[in-house]
Copies of this chain bind each other. A is one copy, B any other.
Amino acid sequence: MDRRVDRGQATRQHLIEVATELFADRGYEGTSIEAVLERAGVSRGSLYHHFPGKERLFEAVVEAVHTRVGEATLAAATASGATEAHGLLKAAELAWIRLAGDAVVRRILLIDAPTVLGWRRWRAIEEQYGLGMLKTVLQEAADAGRVPAQLVEPFAHILLAAGNEMALVIALADDVAAAQTTAEAAVEEFLNRMLQPTESENTET
């Protein structure tokens, strides 16, 4: 094996860690490559050797954070012991809301990522993590007749958006504890309503 490559990977990893801190703290635009280089103690050439540009460095950071969050959320859902859709979703959403209290997750994933990576690429990544899981669980709910089958896709988007919004509201509330309590109650009721058996009628205009 090549010791040079190991050293390179260590540098790369180190850059991602440093960049994660700075991006979370100052945002993407507010973070200069210069600042990353200085704090990481790495030269320009080295950084550009590992990443084709600032945007790709950011993308690497996003993926790293997303992976961490995805694992944690999945673990929480599993740990809840729930097996049916409602329980799983509740556990996952609440876990997600708590994770989003972290400035790293909030700023990088919720605020900057869609703009920097562009909505399409951002959504592709989401698909791979949160949205994919939501769809799976919702499909299960659809099979149980709790959600119209053709609405699985849009409902998954709505659940995702609602979770993100709740996370942001909590994170930036004046009284975080109170907001947390309220939001959890709201999520609970929201999921109850979204997963109710569809005996619904047409409320035509």
Contacts and interface: CB of A to CB of B under 8 A. Distances in A.
A154 B169 contact: yes
Copies of chain A in the complex: 2
Given A86-B203, A123-B172, A182 B153 contact: yes
Interface stretch (A6-14, A34-42, A70-78, A108-116): A108-116
Interface residues of A, number: 46
Contact of A155 (B82, B90, B186): B186
Given A115-B111, A157-B166, A164-B161, A192 B200 contact: yes
A132 interface: no
A172 B86 CA distance: 30
Contact of A112 (B115, B120, B172, B186): B115
Interface string A174-194: 000000001101101110111
Contact of A182 (B115, B154, B183): B154
